[in-house]
Amino acid sequence: MSLQKAVSKLIEQKREKFIALSDKIWDVPELCFEEHQSSAYLRDALEEEGFKVEHGLAGLETAFIGSYGSGKPVVAILGEYDALAGLSQKKGLTHHDPVVDGGNGHGCGHNLLGTGAFAAAVAIKEYMELNQLKGTVRYYGCPAEEAGSGKAFMARAGLFDDVDAAFSWHPWDVPGLMDVKTLANYSARFRFKGKSAHAAAAPHLGRSALDAVELMNVGVNYLREHMVQDARIHYAVTDTGGISPNVVQANAEVVYLIRALEKDEVQSLYERVYDIARGAALMTGTTFEVEFEGTASNLIPNTVLADVMYENLMKVEIPSYDEADQKFAKEIRSTLSQDDLNNVYVGRDRETVKKLKELDIADFIPSHNPSDAVLSGSTDVGDVSWIVPTMQCLTTCFALGTPLHTWQVVSQGVTPIAHKGMLQAGKVIAATAIQAMENPAIIEQAKAELQERLDGKTYASLIPDSVK
């Protein structure tokens, strides 16, 4: 029996358990660093499977590691389970209908991500037992990927320092690999303080914090013309100082998220944004303080691990989709804009686009061609990839063209399409990790490539030393 079939058999034997766990996490969508129920579900499941679990790691209540085995090699399987605000949605519907207005929802499929990674860890453990394979498999329970960057705190605490290879995945609408660069980021909250006054009778006595926020935003908008090409700066005004226009606003707040291809570029941009805040405070006679929100390093690709993972992606059986799956996917696609539907074709070769245009569910593996492409988003998996060779796969969990961070993703997160993609990802990760454990040369080559890509640089967290 091939490795891929052996792993698939192990996962299929516990198929219903994995599906039930994923759905339980979907039912309790929790935001960054608040994933108490979700993390507990996964910790309990790991202990039931014979893993030794440690939690409350790196100063994070909802971070944990489940370990099995001993010695080298050590493989890390990365799991996530945080949700997003404002994306509450009832399951399995093709129209928008929140469970709770303004509530949370798994709009990025992390209920699937965390459980698919768990399935992989369980399959690796059972394969090790059956085949007397030496080494250690660890499931890393990583909170706050969406905001707060839990893995960055875990990396700063040295939790990945003895790992030989790390693997994860992400729910997607087309199978493939995350063999791309991503942007590093840094997020901070700028809280301005002024002085209230009657806006008509004594405006000269007031010092407007809201004016400071607005001037800061104008200044940053002018900065956009003078920064590196791949950089992004986003902001959200989170406190306008009240609802009364006849009161000079004494307090106001804005959150900035800064992205760039390299960490040093992010740091430089942040310093320029900080100087703009200083200028806004000087112009308005206000003061301000800064609160760190989160950071993520840029993702370092690894061709050695990508080749192994792609081989397993090709060899693991692709899920089949019945008439109900196809009907549901078509109805979901009818809720998407033409721009959403067209976005799935961007950057793909002509043959792949031709195939995709005939489908509602991507049921084939596109060819993989390593490139220097940059994904303009960010992930805290990047921090792990600076320390240890890291690779992630993608599997079909949503109707073709479904954009992430939408109610459509939440609705699909507990459907057969999503479950099939989740189990497929578990099989691919497990087979890849086992292949690396059985062939030490793969790990050594992957480590050598990482050092070559880093070109003398070493990992340094962007989290300020004072932040716990």
- Domain extents for the chain? 3-181+298-454, 184-296
Whose tokens are 């729910």? That residue is: 171
Give the number of other Cβ atoms within 10 Å of residue 29's Cβ: 28
Angle between helices 15-27 and 416-438 (to 10 degrees): 120
| 8 Å CB contact between 427 and 57 | no
CATH number of 3-181+298-454: 3.40.630.10
In order along its 468 residues, the chain shows pLDDT tens digits of: 899 999 999 999 999 999 999 999 999 999 999 999 999 999 999 999 999 999 999 999 999 999 999 999 999 999 999 999 999 999 999 999 999 999 999 999 999 999 999 999 999 999 999 999 999 999 999 999 998 899 999 999 999 999 999 999 999 999 999 999 999 999 999 999 999 999 999 999 999 999 999 999 999 999 999 999 999 999 999 999 999 999 999 999 999 999 999 999 999 999 999 999 999 999 999 999 999 999 999 999 999 999 999 999 999 999 999 999 999 999 999 999 999 999 999 989 999 999 999 999 999 999 998 777 788 889 999 999 999 999 999 999 999 999 999 999 999 999 999 999 999 999 999 999 999 999 999 999 999 999 999 999 999 999 999 998
Nearest to 39 by CA among 115, 99, 105: 115
Nearest to 256 by CA among 242, 241, 274, 240: 274
pLDDT at 371: 72
**Same topology between domain 3-181+298-454 and domain 184-296:** no
CA distances from 427 to 109, 224, 249, 393 (A): 18, 43, 56, 11
Give Cα 309 to chain centroid, integer Å. Answer: 19
Architecture of the domain made up of 184-296: 2-Layer Sandwich (3.30)
Tokens of 158: 């040295």
| 8 Å CB contact between 50 and 89 | no
pLDDT at 375: 83
pLDDT at 374: 84
pTM, whole model, 2 decimals? Answer: 0.94
State how far the Cα of 361 lies from the Cα of 8, in Å rounded to an integer: 22
State how far the Cα of 425 lies from the Cα of 422, in Å rounded to an integer: 5
